[in-house]
Amino acid sequence: MTYTQGMMDKATVTLIHTGGTLGMAPGADSASLAPGPSLDRILEQVPELEQLAHLRLVVAFNRDSTTLEPEHIRTLARIIRDQAEASDGFVLIHGTDTMAYTASVLGFLLADLGKPVVLTGSQRPLAYIRTDARGNLVDAVTLATRGVAEVGICFGDHWLRGVASDKVSVHRYQAFASPNLPPLAELGLHVHLHAHAGVFPRQVPVSADCPLESALEVYTPFPGMPWRLPAPGTRGLLLQGFGAGNLPIGRADLRALLAHCRERELPVVISSQCPSGGVDLDTYELGCQARELGAISAGLHTRWAALAKLGLTLGAGGGLAEVRQAFAISWAGEPMP
């Protein structure tokens, strides 16, 4: 469904609604939240948006973001590509739980779009009195009119590069952060765009129609954790190591896992459990041993950017060599060591 309102002399911004807290309503028990009706009346609820842009609303689907599958994210990429000629910018209304992953995938797939794609949502529904939804929508539409070619998350008082972002709070209005990259913009009395916004090399080696491989396994170690071999059909692994990428490499079961993956040329990428800083497998002897056993450093990639890059590389038909190369370069402005 597509709706149009506004004046033709303003920038044209396409709002794409996918669901999430912003549009939710109380559930049957009046306490929990469930997906509410679609936002085809959003301009009635936030009429000031009409002062900012000529608005078009596309309802892609209406789901809790935790239920999204890779095909939903690819659908969003196709909608944005299809609407690009008729739009100066995009606002993607999305649930917060998987927003960082969607922003990472779209950040890679749409790096060459040349137009702003602003993801936003809220911690409380638009229908509530004390809600952050109204401010986030106004800020997101404002950013979408500025012509900065970025895929980013607008939440609270920051706009963050999507491929560098993660959700950091379930209750604060400043729910997202990009620990290894300064914000693209700060939003207060004025919109302050930083010099690095929209400035990065764009060299994504996969097609915008690339499938997203999801036959991946993620391991988050803890002291004493038993290490099992990946299930049959697994295409790649992400190990969320301690600190700079350390793992209990002296354990026989972990060494057996790494040897198994090396023999089968399954890529094993190591990211960090720490939100700030990243992996450097040369820092400690344990990291050096993991690298010698074939592990690949995720460097400063967030867990979501690492999963997105791994999934897209494998989905494009790549293997171990292509994954190793992918994590050695920046595709879409993700921070690198």
Q: Which helix (H) or strand (E) holds 260?
A: helix 252-263
Q: What CATH number is attached to the domain comprising 22? A: 3.40.50.1170
- pLDDT for res 29: 54
- pLDDT for res 199: 95
> Could you report the per-residue pLDDT of 93-144, keeping only the tens digit for each?
999 999 999 999 999 999 999 999 999 998 888 777 788 888 999 999 999 9
Residue 211 is assigned to a structural domain of this protein: no
**Taking the C-alpha atoms of 175, 180, 184 and 189 in order, what is their torsion angle to the nearest 10 degrees?**
50
Domain boundary, last residue among 193, 224, 244: 193
Residues 177, 262 share a domain: no
> Could you report the per-residue pLDDT of 195-253, keeping only the tens digit for each?
999 999 998 888 878 899 999 999 999 999 999 999 999 999 999 999 999 999 999 99
Residue 203 is assigned to a structural domain of this protein: no
Q: Which amino acid is at 323?
A: V
Residues 148, 27 share a domain: yes
Residues 239, 170 share a domain: no
Q: What CATH number is attached to the domain comprising 262? A: 3.40.50.40
Residues 240, 177 share a domain: no
Residues 188, 241 share a domain: no
What is the domain extent for residue 237?
216-326
Q: Do the beta carbons of residue 137 and residue 120 sit within 8 Å?
A: yes
Residues 289, 185 share a domain: no
Residues 8, 154 share a domain: yes
Looking up tokens 């056993």 gives 293
What whole-number distance in Å separates Cα of residue 232 and Cα of residue 167? Answer: 31
Averaged pLDDT score across all residues of the chain = 91
What whole-number distance in Å separates Cα of residue 305 and Cα of residue 194? Answer: 22
Q: Do the beta carbons of residue 201 and residue 331 sit within 8 Å?
A: no
The number of domains in the chain is 2
